[in-house]
Chains A and B, each alone.
Chain A
């Protein structure tokens, strides 16, 4: 056996040029992207955590005419919710009070959250501030924000043509 056959790995294969073919490069790239994704999750926490004691969760949807923000606020009353819009920032504040009932109670389990919260949601487009509609039903706050005429007219659909 020729000693050169054992040196197969050291041989420079002219076709082995792409990064994807080098296992170490691939591993390195995967690890890099792992850290990138991890850090991205930390600093671009979309709404910020707010200053409240707990952070209610929100979903935002849109169609051509309006934005719709829904927030899960179980156990709250509509009068305890404070909603305001300044510029393109929608702020929801409130306080969820713990039920104060008779004495002599013992907690087995406490999984629900109480306290005050504040969330500020940046809106992606301009909205008609006079036509915002909010209603609270079944523990879910739904805010409908119609897009402004300007925002609607500025949206352009770009056709993709066959070249």
Chain B
């Protein structure tokens, strides 16, 4: 990996799934690492400029959506001379399988990296349905 140069290019996300935006701003799809470990799945997403208060994570059915709002405060009429990265929010959705225990998902943000811990469910518990005799 040492001899390949990697460029960090922010990608603009596809049309947001949650309908119309109330604010006019760019939304990027954050780069993410997804690592499966023995007892959980770890997702690391780069969201520079966002902190724990500005990240919104929602789980709807099987789709886990992360949205991170980046505050854009530019002091005292500063002019842009060089722009390599765009300012904007982040959004990305992941589809989870039943393997993940949806009740125990944990998320932390540190130094602009969102860390999602998706614990695996204790085996794939099958529920036993008791059959009762009709009265």
Q: Is A108 interfacial (CB-CB < 8 Å)? A: yes
Interface residue tally for chain A (C-beta within 8 Å): 43
Contact in complex: A61, B35 (CB < 8 Å):
no
| CB neighbours of B36 from chain A (8 A) | 105-108
Given contacts A74-B113, A75-B112, A140-B112, contact A112 B33 (CB under 8 A): yes
| CB neighbours of A99 from chain B (8 A) | 44
Contact in complex: B46, A107 (CB < 8 Å):
no
Contact with A along B1-43 (1 / 0, CB 8 A): 1101111101000000000000000000001111111100110
Which of A29-37, A48-56, A83-91, A147-155 touches B?
A: A48-56
Taken together as a complex, chains A and B put the C-alpha atoms of A135 and B56 apart, in Å, by 25
For window 38-55 of A, CB contacts with B under 8 Å fall at 46, 49, 52-55
Given contacts A62-B78, A138-B51, A139-B112, contact A72 B85 (CB under 8 A): yes
Which of A56, A65, A76 touches B8 (beta carbons < 8 Å)?
A: A56
Contact in complex: A112, B51 (CB < 8 Å):
no
CB distance from B38 to the nearest CB of A (A): 5
Contact in complex: A111, B31 (CB < 8 Å):
yes
Q: Across the A-B interface, how many residue pairs have beta carbons closer than 8 Å?
A: 131
Categorize the interface residue count of chain B.
35 or more
Q: Is A77 interfacial (CB-CB < 8 Å)? A: yes
Which of B48, B80, B82 touches A138 (beta carbons < 8 Å)?
A: B48
Q: Is B103 interfacial (CB-CB < 8 Å)? A: no
CB distance from A33 to the nearest CB of B (A): 22
Taken together as a complex, chains A and B put the C-alpha atoms of A77 and B75 apart, in Å, by 25
Given contacts A74-B47, A112-B44, A115-B1, contact A105 B35 (CB under 8 A): yes
Contact in complex: A53, B4 (CB < 8 Å):
yes
> Which residue of B has the minimal Cβ distance to A101?
B37
Which of A46, A68, A139 touches B78 (beta carbons < 8 Å)?
A: A68
Which of A53, A61, A75, A124 touches B6 (beta carbons < 8 Å)?
A: A53
Contact in complex: A140, B32 (CB < 8 Å):
no
Which of A49, A56, A63, A75 touches B111 (beta carbons < 8 Å)?
A: A75
Contact with B along A11-28 (1 / 0, CB 8 A): 000000000000000000
Taken together as a complex, chains A and B put the C-alpha atoms of A46 and B5 apart, in Å, by 17
Q: Is B126 interfacial (CB-CB < 8 Å)? A: no
Interface of A toward B, CB cutoff 8 Å:
46, 49, 52-63, 65, 67-68, 72-77, 99, 101-102, 104-115, 124, 136, 138-140
Q: List 12 A-B contacts (CB under 8 A).
A: A46-B82, A49-B5, A53-B1, A55-B5, A57-B85, A63-B76, A74-B46, A105-B37, A108-B36, A111-B32, A113-B8, A140-B49
